[in-house]
Structure 1
Amino acid sequence: MEIRQVTTDERVTTTFPLQAYAFSPSPGPDDEAERYQRRQRFFTTATSFVAEEAGETLAGAASLPMRQNVRGLVHDMAGVAAVASHPSARRRGLVRELMTRLLRHTREQGCAVSALYPFRPSFYARFGYVGIPKTRKARFAPEGLSELLRRDLPGSVQRLPIKEGFAAYEALEHRLLAHRHGFAVFDETRSAEFREEKAWVALARVDGEVVGALRYRIDGHGGDLLGSSLFSTGPLGRALLLQFLARHVDQVSAIEVYLGADELAELWGTDMTVTTSAAVDSPTHNAPMVRVLDVPALAGSRVGRGGITVEIVGDDLIGGVWQFGADDGQLTVKPGGVPEATLTVGGFSALVYGALDPVEVFTRGLGDLDAEAMERLGVLFPTRMPYMFADF
């Protein structure tokens, strides 16, 4: 068995058949491979590894270059995807070998963090990944926003085909990347495919500045308006977009948009009837998972106060003893020292991303902590709500 990195062109005949069988209706249409070939221009910056035996591809894994905000610092991030194996080769440890090689490679490329959507969370937990909140879907009738139609809001909303409005939409994404914890974006090569979608984009502007954006499509008269993540720089941008959606009252029966876990759609209007949900169900609807790949790269992150020396165990990439402190609210990192607490890489990643409290890290078996260590870690790494958005 050989593991090797493959080129973009090789993906069509190596990894694609595996991921198509694993994640798509099967057998697929006759032109499935041809359509995949046409899409390869959007994956030229991806990193792909395969496991082969006697010239046959048995498993594959890839990472997409992304950037993610973690506690105020924007890092290069490895977005792991297309992890699949041939049915006859499953449970042979091939994916484990591929993941180990892929994570080491992406760290050497400069990625400080990694994220993925798992087919089975417990499998990826073995590689140090830990869950973060899933985006919420809010479904509501436009009538619930009717009071916004009586407001004279300072600003306007422009509706454009996505191809015409994509530059402004993407620019807003990058503005949010700099400020919102957990936010992640693709590189220009991968994100260019979204410009080709059949979709509208609504752009909210105040004094010429884009303060909100929503990609969406409508499935029919009297049907649903299906939106992606509702992005805004603040309450005014959100209100302008909601007012725009309210104007579809006699056109659609329901509206769907995606939100961060800390956003409260029930407060958008007085008479709102809204269902906000985040279904988690293996293998197709799991929440995202994340992990840290480089500890020193975290220096400068926005944290609380105090300090503690921690040993991270069971991981070849970031294992060891680390001294963590705070200098005017920014994380300091030094190697070595006498450990005062023990964490798995999953437990450490959960604290860095703010997804779990130190007590939860202990109760989940992700660390060996006494009461004092829990308190100190909780002060240094206060919980925060990461928002890794998902689009339709």
Structure 2
Amino acid sequence: MTIRQVTADERLTTSFPLAAYAFESSPLGAARTEEFRDYLPYQEGNRTLIVEEDGSTRAAASAIPMRQNLRGIVLPMAGVAGVATHPLARRQGHVRTLLHQLLDEMRDEGHPLSTLYPFRPSFYARFGYVGLPKPRTVTFSPADLGSLVRVELPGEVSWERIGGGYPTWRAFTEGCLEERHGFSIFPDYRAVGLRDRDECWLLTARVGGEVTGAVTYRIDDHGGTLLGNELLVTDPLARTLLLQFFARHVDQVERVTVQVPPDELPELWLTDLDVHIEARVGRPGRSAPMARLLSLDALNGLPAGPGRVRIELTGDRWLAGNHLLDGTAGALELASGASDRVPTATLTAAGLSALAYGVLDPAELPLRGLGEVPVDAAAELRSIFPRRVPYLFADF
């Protein structure tokens, strides 16, 4: 058995067929197999590793070099995708071996963060990943937006195909990356697939000439559904401008669906809005994202509250040792092997990742088996890492 990195064309006969078997209808038709070659330009910068035995691909995994905002700082992030095993080679440890090498390589190349959508969360929890909140799907009738139709709002909306509007969309998502905790975007070579497919409309809200909101969407049929993707806005005015546009479809579609961040409250958008909000999580096929720190370099310089605590990191391949976390200057500083007397907590990699991403309170970690956190240490960690709601925008 060998592990090796495959070239672009090799994906056609190695990783692509395994991923298709794992995540698509099966068996594939000839036409679908021919489409694999069309995907190659959008995979060019990925790192794809395979397990090979007697000339046969037994497992595959890829990492996409992305960027993610962690508490206001944009860092390189390894997005893990396409993890699949041959049906005759499952439960033999191939994925574990691949992930160890893949994450080793991405960490060594300067990616201190990693995210993924798991096929089974408990499997990836053993690799130090912790769950992130899932974006919500919001469904409502455009008839319920009728009160917005004649409202005079400052600003305007623009409407075009994504093929032509892609530069505007890309620039806006780059801006969201700089501002929003947890937000991540694909590298250019992957992101342009949205432009090249040109399968949706782009709606943008502008105020004073500046783009303040955007959503891509398509309509499945007359009398059907306006299917919106991520509704991205910088303020309530931008959201209202986009909803006002949807209201004008009252005689065209029965319902509108959009994706919204996990901290959005659609039930408060309008009075008398009949809205269904769903974030269903299950397996297989309905997983919430997961994330972890691959390197403590991700913490240096993060905005932090005025806490001071020593942590002992245990049980992880990539994070280990004793470290002093000091946020008293407003930016987190790390020191190894610090000897001064401060509260001490013992954390797993998933426990520290949960604090950094803001998804768990320190008091929850012992309940989840993610560490031992005395009360005094919990207070310091709570100050250093205030709770935040991360929004992992990029969809794998």
Smaller-chain TM-score range? over 0.9
Deviation at 1:391, TM superposition (A): 5.3
Percent identity of the aligned residues? 49
1:243 and 2:247 aligned = no
Contact 1:145 1:268 in 2 (8 A): no
- Aligned partner of 2:361 among 354, 357, 362: 357
Give 2:379's aligned residue. Answer: 375
Give 1:47's aligned residue. Answer: 47
**2:330 partner letter:** G
**1:356 partner letter:** L
The 3-state SS of whatever aligns with 2:250 is: coil
Give 1:387's aligned residue. Answer: 391
User: What are the residue-to-residue correspondences of 1:310-325 with 2, within 5 Å?
Assistant: 310-325=311-326
C-alpha separation in 1, matches of 2:317 and 2:220: 49
Contact 2:183 2:394 in 1 (8 A): no
Contact 1:313 1:344 in 2 (8 A): yes
Deviation at 1:333, TM superposition (A): 1.4
C-alpha separation in 1, matches of 2:209 and 2:179: 21
The 3-state SS of whatever aligns with 2:77 is: strand
Give 2:107's aligned residue. Answer: 107
User: What are the residue-to-residue correspondences of 1:207-222 with 2, within 5 Å?
Assistant: 207-222=208-223
Deviations 1:217-276 (A, max 9, x none): 001111000000101111111111111111111111100001111101111111100011
Instruction: Please identify, of 99-108 and 28-37, the stretch whose mean Cα deviation from structure 2 is larger.
Output: 28-37
The 3-state SS of whatever aligns with 1:91 is: coil
Deviations 1:32-53 (A, max 9, x none): 2220111100110000000011
- Aligned partner of 2:351 among 347, 351, 365: 347
Contact 1:148 1:243 in 2 (8 A): yes
Give 1:161's aligned residue. Answer: 161
C-alpha separation in 1, matches of 2:208 and 2:238: 12
Give 1:257's aligned residue. Answer: 258
Runs of 4 or more consecutive aligned structure 1 residues displaced over 3 Å after TM superposition: none
Deviation at 1:328, TM superposition (A): 3.5
Give 1:336's aligned residue. Answer: 337
C-alpha separation in 1, matches of 2:201 and 2:301: 39
Structure 1 gap ranges (5+): none
Structure 2 gap ranges (5+): none
Contact 1:61 1:84 in 2 (8 A): yes
Deviations 1:188-216 (A, max 9, x none): 00001011231001011112111110000
C-alpha separation in 1, matches of 2:92 and 2:308: 43
Deviation at 1:296, TM superposition (A): 2.2
The 3-state SS of whatever aligns with 2:149 is: helix
Deviation at 1:390, TM superposition (A): 5.3
Deviation at 1:31, TM superposition (A): 2.1
User: What are the residue-to-residue correspondences of 1:275-314 with 2, within 5 Å?
Assistant: 275-314=276-315
C-alpha separation in 2, matches of 1:391 and 1:68: 13
C-alpha separation in 1, matches of 2:393 and 2:246: 20
Change (3 A) 1:188 1:390: closer
Deviation at 1:316, TM superposition (A): 2.0
The 3-state SS of whatever aligns with 1:103 is: helix
C-alpha separation in 1, matches of 2:255 and 2:170: 26
Give 1:170's aligned residue. Answer: 170
Contact 1:259 1:389 in 2 (8 A): no
Contact 1:229 1:390 in 2 (8 A): no
Contact 1:111 1:293 in 2 (8 A): yes
The 3-state SS of whatever aligns with 2:38 is: helix
C-alpha separation in 2, matches of 1:324 and 1:197: 47
C-alpha separation in 2, matches of 1:230 and 1:310: 39
User: What are the residue-to-residue correspondences of 1:195-210 with 2, within 5 Å?
Assistant: 195=195, 196-210=197-211
1:146 and 2:150 aligned = no
Instruction: Please identify, of 365-374 and 176-185, the stretch whose mean Cα deviation from structure 2 is larger.
Output: 365-374
User: What are the residue-to-residue correspondences of 1:216-231 with 2, within 5 Å?
Assistant: 216-231=217-232
Contact 2:185 2:393 in 1 (8 A): no
The 3-state SS of whatever aligns with 1:359 is: helix
C-alpha separation in 1, matches of 2:297 and 2:336: 9
RMSD: 1.2
Deviations 1:92-130 (A, max 9, x none): 111000000000000111101000000000000010000
**1:362 partner letter:** P
What's the TM-score, normalizing by structure 2? 0.97
Question: How many pairs were matched up?
Answer: 392
Contact 1:117 1:288 in 2 (8 A): yes
